[in-house]
Chain A
Amino acid sequence: MEPYQLSIHELHDLLRKGEVTSVEVTKSFIHRVKTIDKRINSYISLTEDMALEQAYEADKKFKKGGILSPLLGIPLSIKDLICIKGAKTTCASKILQNFVATYNATVINKLRDNGAVFLGKTNLDEFAMGSSNENSFFGPTRNPWNLDYVPGGSSGGSAATVAADLCMGSLGSDTGGSIRQPANFCGVVGLKPTYGRVSRFGLVAFASSLDQIGTITKDVKDSAILMNVIAGKDPFDSTSADIPVPDFTKSLVNNIKGMKIGIPKEYFVEGMDHDVEKCLKEAVKVFRRLGAEFTDISLSHADYAVATYYILASAEASSNLARYDGVKYGLRSKSSEDLLEMYSNTRKEGFGNEVKRRIMLGTYVLSAGYYDAYYLKAQKVRTLIKKDFEDAFKKCDIIIAPTTPYPAFKLGEMIDDPLQMYLSDIFTISVNLAGIPSISIPCGFSNKTLPIGMQIMARHFKEETIYQAAFSYQQNTEHHFKKPRV
């Protein structure tokens, strides 16, 4: 096995023993990206010089010895919606095509302090709006398992870089499923932490009450290693939670005896994809064999989540994206007579159709006369969705469900039907509305050999319970070892 194929914890052991250097591994990734990624298009930009410099520094520290972070010298990719000082941060939008971040996101500072290496910025749906990565100004990313299929979105680039061994792990963001859905489509592990667990400072805002940074990794242990570094209160993000961060790797125990698992009946409906149903049933069998107890639960408002989400997320987006007006940064339209025309020309030229659609939807639902009917109504339904989870977690420790109704779909299949695309997020969106943590881990393959994943959800700030269950599952199954041929 080549070092780039390993997990973070396996590579760390090799680096520590001096069997390989960070510079060597970093160079091997850069070479792979330059040769393989033409077909996948998972990176928007490589930060080659920065990466080699960081790798060189890491190797010096390994030589010196002492206490070494498990992330020292580990090459990572970062979703191009998270700011790295001195690197382009485009959000996959024409409007920020040449924007260079002038500061680091808090998560980037934390990773830097631990000696991680940043290989580059990954492709996404423009401003994280989309479920297929087709809404990127830099062209769609393709699924490493089959290049005719989408990698999911919006963190599709991040998931593809992890699946195709073009990095050791990645950071993404999840507003309505944007980490879990692509992790599921690409056969890797994606964690959306509890809202507030990880600082959002330096994450370009889409829908601030829903956005959360999380990890995309090859296995569950790697996710816990990354979370140990990025989680925690940040004075620069007043919504980050002032709650102690445990050592998540302590939860990685192969034992779930007596754990109570809830199965939501609304997520297992007649007519669901046969392969997804089969894989989930197999997963249930594994958990049962390991001594977990099952209980039926109801998330009775699940069917209203997509409608609620598209009101709230679009409303917040219409406000957050008002800052792109061509004045202080980003694109400025050249053909404008006066200021107002400059605003509207810039935004017409700079935004793609999906972003325009959501800004307009958000503007509409917030406009005078409609606020109560749409925005306030959605906020109330959000309360009901949140309460469903509170009630369910009185009966169980975790909830297991499919991540998506079906495996990856083909490029172009849904691009002309936004509503159909929105509905593909039906199983992930409730989690964001309730603010709870959830992981997607591989649990099998479709008959077209596309990966299928399952979600494990837990109460607010109970990532540890998720890790315990997900780690136990991976200790007893082999789906996460399978890799696409690229």
Chain B
Amino acid sequence: MIDVIQKTIMEITEKNVEHIASLSKIKSDQNSNKAFTDQLKKILKYIEKLNELDTDQIEPTQHVLSLQNVFKEDLIQNIFSKENSFENAPRYDKGHYQVPKIIE
């Protein structure tokens, strides 16, 4: 496991940060990429300390209260109107959101 992480730290390059930004749908620029690269490297290096712990036999915690599925009656409640949904829309027309073209 430690090997894996050490490998990944070396992989934090500006080029990879550009890739992470694109996965995050955040357009990157060279200036901020350089700063992000240094900062993420430092943060990931710090996070590495978790590998001091042997957790092979430990169950993961997803949720602190160990809730079971919560069900409710399948009833229609009119909390939001269609008009409500468009109140903050950048562009909409005839009951639809408008966006720039998706395909050529």
Contacts and interface: CB of A to CB of B under 8 A. Distances in A.
Given A308-B50, A379-B61, A347 B43 contact: no
B99 A327 contact: yes
Contacts of B70: 238-239
Contacts of A318: 24
B24 A363 contact: yes
Interface residues of B, number: 56
Nearest to B59: A383
Nearest to B91: A332
Interface in A262-321: 301, 303-304, 306-308, 310-311, 318
Interface string A319-335: 00010011111111000
B61 A382 contact: yes
Interface in B36-84: 36, 39-40, 42-44, 46-47, 49-53, 55, 58-65, 67, 70, 72, 79-80, 84
A296 to B, nearest CB: 23
A329 B89 CA distance: 4
Given A239-B67, A353-B32, A345 B27 contact: yes
A127 B17 CA distance: 22
Interface-central residue, B23, B36, B51, B65, by most chain A CB under 10 Å: B65
B26 to A, nearest CB: 5
| Interface of chain B: mostly helix, strand, loop or mixed | loop
A195 B64 contact: yes
Interface residues of A, number: 72
Given A339-B99, A357-B40, A360-B40, A311 B61 contact: no
Interface stretch (A182-190, A253-261, A369-377): A369-377
A372 to B, nearest CB: 8
8 contacts: A327-B90, A329-B88, A347-B24, A361-B40, A380-B61, A382-B60, A383-B58, A435-B65
The 8 closest A-B pairs by CB, nearest first: A435-B64, A379-B60, A329-B88, A332-B90, A380-B55, A238-B70, A344-B27, A348-B27
